[in-house]
A and B are shown apart, each in its own frame.
Chain A
Amino acid sequence: MGIKRKSKAAAALGMAGLLVLAACGSNNDNQENGNASPSAGSSPSASASQPPADPAAKYDPPIDVTAWRYTESSYKYENGDTIENNVYTKAYASDLGINLKYQWTVPVEQFEQKLNVSIAAGDLPDIMWLTNKQLTDLADNDLLYDLTDLYEQYATPLTKSILQQDQKAFDTAKIDGRLMAIPKTASAVDGLPVLHVRTDWLEKLGLPEPKTMQDVLNIAEAFVTKDPDGNNKADTIGLGLTKSFLTDNHFGTSGFFSGFHAYPQKWVKDESGGLVYGSIQPGVKAGLQMLQDMYKKGLLDKEFGVKDRAKVTESVASGKLGMFYGGMSAPGSVIQDNVTNDPNAEWKSFQIVSADEVKATPIGKVPVQLYYAVSKKSKHPEAIMKLLNFSMEGFAPDAPANSPFGISPTGVPVYLYNLIGPEPAMKNLNAHHNIVQALSSNDPSKLSSEEKGYYDRIVKFNGGDRKEWGQARIFGTPSTFDVIDQYVKDDNYILDAFYGGSTPTMVEKLASLQKMEEEVFTKIIMGQSLDTFDKFVADWKKLGGDDITQEVNEWAKKQ
């Protein structure tokens, strides 16, 4: 009866605790209801009561600033650091007099949900990480502090130059012309698709590097029929796709369809200047036709329709797959294991290829996925500007190398702890240029600490450590950024033309329309008649697509 006695005691304890808590609960209830709703409507004029201040002045006495944010699995910590307590939070306190207190931090997967419940429950911290959707929602309900004037007043020239490098991205944070948040700007070109090919296979089979879509087809065919891995089994795949190929960055089809000047799932300008939905354009049909032929010939994995990214990565790592369209990070994230496993494996990245005489143009997205907003009730709405200026100092041309705010000597990406972290539009591409230069001159002294982190790993690779191959093929040369650089030099890329929140008809119909699209495209590739595509186009228009197109164009006119 030992179990029972113990449970009794513990349970008695529990009951006592619970009654106390229940009592507390009802108290809170009254208080919250007492003051939450009326103040939501009224507007405290904090900025008016503040004297015009020096943008760099330190708060004395220090102030408390609350915030919420997400973290990612790539965040690493050392020396007892946490997201609540690290080199950044310490610097905020010592340099700015700001004690940062996180109301909550959640892993990114949980962010949207936690964000919504917290907003619904009505307690907003001073500084909020928001997505476009909640930004619009909160601004519409007058819960956000208008940052337009504070930005003018406080932002340093350096800050402005970085944030407004890409004006279009910056403007996504404006609602009716007012700046309602600081956008987390980043690089649009980082997201452009690249063609990754196993070059040791190309050499073995005596194939040229891919320059046209026909080359891609020939390579895929040779990779399947000519036994590039030399095991006398027909077990290799020509082109890698996942089951969500329309949206996936790695093993996706964005770069492939660009070869047919088609842009599924993106909005593009037509000849008349209006916006049209890429998935219903004629080029898509040609692309699908080619994929269907490839599937028929066995150049695609027969089972691609059920495989996710981890599963296709498995084909790469086990040396069964030698070509796919992917992002610039692919060497590090999905190819590395192949190179580790197979001492002969070598890959190279190429510009996407065209199916005709016209050059293929890759498409990316406006690179703002996150906004930093300030609650209307915040006592120190200008604090965000000080944090912002502080963060941007690291990007100054004369910023000290090896600062403690980048990547630590042991390779921990400390810079991710930063609360306010917009990036210059070409940060990673610049890092590539700087690193390549440092490599050729053997002089890393001018590198930022983040760049130095990459540099050190590439040096290791050059010394024979194949585990750092991916790093070298992203930032070194030859690398994926060589390709991206070429896109930029040629000014050969476009961006998704629609970057607003969901329109009313999207809210209502988009889920069904997307389901239909994924279903039809997958089935066509697997052999269903191409006429289904024409039917899909008609259905798409009829089932809400026309309305969405109209709404998107109305949105575009306002931009």
Chain B
Amino acid sequence: MRKKWQEIPLHVMLLPGVLLTLIFSYIPIAGIAIAFQKFQPAKGIFHSKWVGWDNFQYMLDMPNFASVLWNTVFIAVMKIVAGLVIPIVVALLLNEVAGAWFKRTVQTIIYFPHFLSWVILGGIMIDVLSPANGIVNQFLGLFGIEPIFFLGNENWFPFTLVATDTWKHFGYSTIIYLAALTGIDQHLYEAATVDGAGRWKQTLYVTLPGLLPIITLMTVLSLGNVLNAGFEQVFNLYSPMVYSTGDIIDTLVYRIGMVESQYGVATAVGLFKSVISFGLIVLSNRLASRYAGYRVF
């Protein structure tokens, strides 16, 4: 219908973003070369020794790499699932609240924890989750449950990470769904009411389908985090007692770096993570467009 020249404004709009991205993202991406070097800061990128796939080999040869990889994926996937489900549920629950004051207050309060860093929260968590006198275990004690050493027990530790992470971020993530809820056409609810649908049915047949695009979007994007289990959180909460289930790729790389700044290995690990994340996102985008009929990108 429209002609070629009608595209021109669209290209013009994209131009500044493309230029800046080219300069500040693509030029540094060339530095991925470091992954194939025995990088020495004193020699720089241009004079460091090339070592081919050695850094990747080093990564795979580490005695506990397989278990660390598993920990990372296990924790990250649980975080992704909880991080998707809980905010949606909370957004729906908030949507059912009639009182504007209550709704606003709750919304505002659950957004707070996002702003407390893990360094500060680390100290609070040790108290709250203490098996001796932590409030959580005192509460569980009411039901006759034996005290659980959430931060020191290797079986519980991954779940502790997921729970505290979800707690910290669910309020913040809820905002996206609240914004999406405003986009649902009010006429659809009226029509549903006329058809005799109750609130439950309205939620099921109007609200959820209305949220589907954003849910799909968030799901696809979150898959990019499947190898990010949250360095700052784990670093502030873990200890030798829970290394076996709590050590993740990022903490491992950090400790290797403590011995000697190994930029080659760190970059190789980063590249490994990027490639896998990218593959998953591309794949899930395809699947979403085939099965949910919704293309994210």
Contacts and interface: CB of A to CB of B under 8 A. Distances in A.
Interface string B16-32: 10011001000000000
A302 interface: yes
Interface string B108-151: 00000000000000110010001110000000000000000101
Nearest to A138: B42
Contact of B241 (A121, A140, A523): A523
Interface string A109-120: 000100111011
A303 B41 contact: no
A112 B243 CA distance: 26
A75 B62 CA distance: 41
A3 interface: no
A229 B257 CA distance: 44
A318 to B, nearest CB: 12
A514 B63 CA distance: 12
B240 A507 contact: no
A515 B23 contact: no
Contacts of B261: 112, 116, 133
Chain B: interface size category: 35 or more
Nearest to A242: B239
B260 A512 contact: no
A522 interface: yes
A122 interface: yes
A167 B30 CA distance: 46
Contacts of A307: 126
Contacts of B62: 512
Contacts of B63: 512, 543
B250 interface: no
Contacts of A523: 240-241
Interface stretch (B43-51, B95-103, B193-201): B43-51
Contacts of B252: 511
B239 A522 contact: yes
B152 interface: yes
Contact of B41 (A25, A134, A515): A134
Interface in A493-535: 502, 506-508, 510-512, 514-515, 518-519, 521-523, 526
B255 A514 contact: yes
A112 B262 CA distance: 12
A456 B151 CA distance: 45
Contacts of A311: 123, 126
Nearest to B259: A510
Contact of B259 (A116, A138, A305, A506): A506
A37 B122 CA distance: 46
Interface string B36-59: 000111111111000000000010
Given A18-B20, A303-B149, A502-B260, A141 B247 contact: no
Contact of B240 (A22, A303, A522): A522
Contacts of A521: 240
A115 B263 CA distance: 13
Contacts, number: 99
A20 interface: no
Contacts of A511: 252, 255-256, 258-259
B42 A143 contact: yes
B262 A15 contact: no
A515 B255 contact: yes
B274 interface: no
A506 B258 CA distance: 11
Contact of A37 (B46, B64, B243, B256): B46
B151 to A, nearest CB: 5
B244 interface: yes
A518 B240 contact: yes
Given A306-B239, A502-B260, A120 B64 contact: no
Interface string B152-184: 100000000000000000000000000000000
A95 interface: no
A179 to B, nearest CB: 19
B42 A303 contact: no
Nearest to A521: B240
Given A303-B126, A507-B259, 7 more contacts: A122-B44, A143-B42, A243-B240, A305-B152, A305-B240, A512-B62, A522-B241
10 contacts: A37-B47, A115-B41, A243-B241, A305-B239, A306-B237, A306-B239, A511-B256, A515-B64, A518-B243, A519-B244
Smallest CB-CB A-B distances: 7 pairs:
A518-B240, A119-B41, A522-B240, A120-B41, A141-B42, A243-B239, A305-B241
Interface of B: 16, 19-20, 23, 39-47, 58, 62-64, 122-123, 126, 130-132, 149, 151-152, 237, 239-241, 243-244, 247, 252, 255-256, 258-263
Interface of A: 15, 18, 22, 25, 37, 112, 115-117, 119-122, 133-134, 137-138, 140-141, 143, 243, 302-303, 305-308, 310-311, 502, 506-508, 510-512, 514-515, 518-519, 521-523, 526, 543
